Amino acid sequence: MRQGSMKVLIQLTSILLCTFAVTARRLAVNPTFDVRSYGANADGVTDNSQAFLGAWKAACSSIGDVKLLIPPGNYFLNPVKFYGPCPNVSTLTVYQEGVITASTDLSLYQSGNDWIEFGYVEGLRLTGGGTFDGQGSVSWSYDQCPVEKYCNVLPTSVIFVHLNDTIVYGMRSINPKFFHIAVLQCQNFKAMAIHIEAPEDSPNTDGIHIERSSDVTIHDAIISTGDDCISIGQGNTNVLISRINCGPGHGISIGSLGKYPNEEDVRNVVVKDSKISNTMNGVRIKTWQNSPSSSSVADITFENILMSNVQNPIIIDQTYCPDKLCDGDLVPSRVSISDVYFKAINGTSASQVAVTLNCSPGIPCQNITLQDILLNYVGGKPSSAFCAYANARFFAPMLPLPCN
C-alpha cells in the first residue's frame, strides 16, 4: 500500500474512532431509562410501583442529563415516592406519554401519604403530555373536610416537594381524590400548558395548590374542577399566575389563610391575563375568622382578567368559616391584608354584589386599590359593591359604583 493511502486510512480510522467515542460518551452522559426495561406492564391492571421505582433509582444514580421514559399505555400505580437527591444528575426528565392510573383502595394510602410524590431533586422536568388519572369518584363520598375543620384529607394526586429548578410542561390531571397538584416548599418552579379536569361537584379538588414556595410561575393552563382552580396558601413569595382559563370551579384564591398557628406571610403575588367563567368566585383572598396567630398578605395584584357569569368576581373574605366550622366566639381574623391592586377586571357577575371587601374588624384592610373595573350583573339591575373595614380607593372607570 502506498504511503499516501496509508495516511488517508489512518485519518479515516481516527475520525471513526473519535465519532464512536463521542457517541458513546453522549449515550453514557445522557442515558434513557425505559420503565418497561424494569418490568412495567401497560395493561392498566398490574401494579407498576416497583418497576417505576427501579427506573427512577437507576436514572437518579446516573450522570448528566437523564431521561426516564414512560411510553404510551395505561400504567396502574399504587402510592409511590420518587425522591432524590440525585447528586450527579444535571436534569432528570420524566417523559410521560402514557396514562398513569391510581388505585382506588384507600387503605393503601397511609396517613400523610399521597399518590405520587416527586421530592428532593434539582433539575426535574416532567413532560410528554401524559395523564394522571386519580380515579377519585370512588372516594369523594369519604371526604369529610366540608363538614370537619380538622379532617383527614384524601390523597393528592401529584405532589412536588422540596424541589429546585423544576419545569412541568403538558401535564394532564383528571379526577383526583383530593387536590390535583400540590407545590410544597419548592423554589424556581415553572408549570405551563397544564390541563386539569374534574366534575364541578367534586369536593376539594383544587387544581394547583401552592404553599411555602418561592419564585413560582404558572401559565397557559386550562382548569375545570370542583374547587379553586389555583389556591395560593401560606408562606409563598414571588408567585406569577398568567393566561389561566378557569371554570367551572371556585376561581383563583389566595388562601384560605389563618387556619393553623404560626402560618407564614404571603408576599408579591401577581394574577393576570386570565379568563374565569361560571365559577363560584373570581379572584379572592380568604382568611379564617378566629385565626390562632397573626400573619400578613401584602403586595398582591389581580390584573387584566375577564369574568363570565361569575358569582363573586372580586372578593376579600376575612370571615371565612365554611359550614360554620369555627370554634367558640367569632373572633376577628388576625391576618392583615394590605397593598392589594385590582386592575382592568371586566365582564359579568352572576350576583348583584360584584365586589365584596369584607375585611377583619380587628385588623382592617389597608391600601386596597380598584381601577378600571367594569362588572355588569347578568340579572339586568345595576351591580353593587359591599365594603366593611376596608381602606379602599376607587379609580374610574368603575362599575359597580364605589362603596363607602
Q: Which residues have a catalytic role annotated?
A: 250
Q: Count CB neighbours of 141 within 10 A.
A: 8
Nearest to 186 by CA among 165, 169, 172: 165
Task: Give the Cα separation of 269 and 273 in Å (integer).
Answer: 14
Q: Torsion angle of alpha carbons 384, 389, 393, 399, nearest 10°?
A: -10
Question: C-alpha cell of 355?
Answer: 365586589
Tell me the backbone φ, ψ of residue 82, rounded to 5 degrees.
-100, 95
Q: Residue 94: left if φ>0, alpha if ψ -120 to 50, beta else—which one?
A: beta
Cβ(142)–Cβ(154) under 8 Å?
yes
Residues facing residue 47 across a β-bridge? 76
Q: Count CB neighbours of 1 within 10 A.
A: 6
Q: How far is CA 60 from CA 50, 67, 83, 198, 277, in A?
A: 15, 10, 9, 33, 42
Task: Give the Cα separation of 255 and 279 in Å (integer).
Answer: 17
